[in-house]
Amino acid sequence: MGNSYHVTPRNDGWAAQRAGADRAASVHDTQAAAINAARGHLRNQGGGELNIHNRQGAIRAKDTIPNGNDPRNIKG
């Protein structure tokens, strides 16, 4: 399995967490800050998949960070 991070809501903000990890890599006040942090973590690890969750916990968006494995061959 390649690198994968999830941005999820918490009681104290938004977490950027690697898939399968017990603890969040970082916690932020806003979802945008958590997304930027997760993108940075993935860039430092050679790329991967970013899954962004809404306040109810459902995935609302996905993104592939360069050097990851994007199943689609179109931008976006």
Please give the pLDDT value at position 5: 97
Q: Please give the Cα distance from 56 to 69 (Å, whole number).
A: 27
Are 33 and 66 contacting, i.e. CB atoms less than 8 angstroms apart? no
Which pTM value belongs to this model?
0.83
Handedness of CA 30, 69, 48, 15 (dihedral sign): positive
Answer whether residue 1 shows pLDDT above 60. Answer: no
Per residue in 3-30, pLDDT (tens digit) is 899 999 999 999 999 999 999 999 999 9
Please give the pLDDT value at position 67: 72
Please give the pLDDT value at position 16: 98
Instruction: Give residue limits of the domains in the chain.
Output: 4-65
CA separation, residue 40 to residues 21, 43, 52, 57 (Å): 17, 5, 14, 22
Q: What is the dihedral of CA 43, 21, 60, 54, to 10 degrees?
A: -120
